[in-house]
A and B are shown apart, each in its own frame.
Chain A
Amino acid sequence: MAFETREEGAYTVVLVDESRLDASIAESFKVFLFDQIDSGKEKIVVDLSQVRFMDSSGLGSLVAGLKKTAGSGLFALASAQPAVKDLFDLTSMDKLFSLHDSVADAVQGD
């Protein structure tokens, strides 16, 4: 399965088990995220450690998840790889997202 979840304390960690978060899977990833949020998950950390490449559609699916939780929950990202970090920098999306070096950092202190 491309996307998996696990619980870490109060957080739901969503692992993207794909090397490419691109247009071919962005819509299914968005639906997966929305299903998590609609089922009551309020604190979500997306683990991007396996993702080596992301395009603007993949980024769009993350923005959609962030928008859906805005104001009522937490939506953070962890372990973004260099090319993925670069995309966040290029699009200034690093201003919008909480980017953490690891899942442990993202859930720390809760």
Chain B
Amino acid sequence: MPDSKQLLRLQIDSQLSNTTLVAMAVRGVCAMTTLSPVEINRLELCLVEIVNNAIEHAYGNEAGHPVEICIGLDKTSMNISVSDWGASIPSDVIDSQEPEEINPDHPEAWLCSGRGLHIVNKLMDDVSYETDEGKNSFIMSKALRY
């Protein structure tokens, strides 16, 4: 859980249609910060990618399981954790390298999935992943100007 003075804790059921709920919530919190519209869009994207991952991979797209989102806010950063109690992300996936450069001449090599974590790693200032007593938490933070 983010170590912040102001903390919002949300929980949704593991259905992809519910990601919009938390996306709108994080946009609301972002409106309290100095983040620019582009940064807010990117933060929303990162949150959605990680919540989608929890639903699709930790729970295999099965409804009826909890996904917990904690949004912490302090003067210097916004910290977000997304937790599930399903299958954890293998370390080789967490540590995977950036995808190879796209070659327009080789359609067979174009990937239709697997970009979510790369996007998050690229956009957030700090990213970590931990599992504790069956609870998997993806933690990410974004620095704020003040």
Contact = CB atoms under 8 A, between A and B. Distances in A.
A67 B112 contact: yes
Interface residues of A, number: 27
A23 B123 contact: no
B69 to A, nearest CB: 16
A83 B41 contact: yes
What is the interface of chain A mostly: helix, strand, loop, or mixed?
Answer: helix
B93 interface: no
A66 B107 contact: yes
B112 A24 contact: no
B110 A63 contact: yes
Interface stretch (A41-49, A91-99, A102-110): A91-99
Interface residues of B, number: 31
Interface string B14-31: 011101100100000000
Contacts of B19: 22-24
B13 interface: no
A100 interface: no
B102 A86 contact: no
A5 interface: no
Given A90-B119, A90-B123, A95-B102, A70 B23 contact: no
Contacts, number: 77
A60 B112 contact: yes
Contacts of B23: 53
B115 A92 contact: no
B32 interface: no
Contact of B16 (A22, A64, A92): A22
A39 B118 CA distance: 35
24 contacts: A22-B16, A22-B20, A23-B55, A24-B19, A53-B48, A55-B49, A55-B52, A56-B49, A56-B116, A57-B113, A60-B112, A61-B112, A63-B110, A63-B111, A66-B107, A67-B112, A86-B38, A86-B41, A86-B42, A90-B119, A90-B123, A91-B115, A93-B102, A96-B110
Interface of A: 20, 22-24, 53, 55-57, 59-61, 63-64, 66-67, 70-71, 82-83, 86-87, 90-93, 95-96
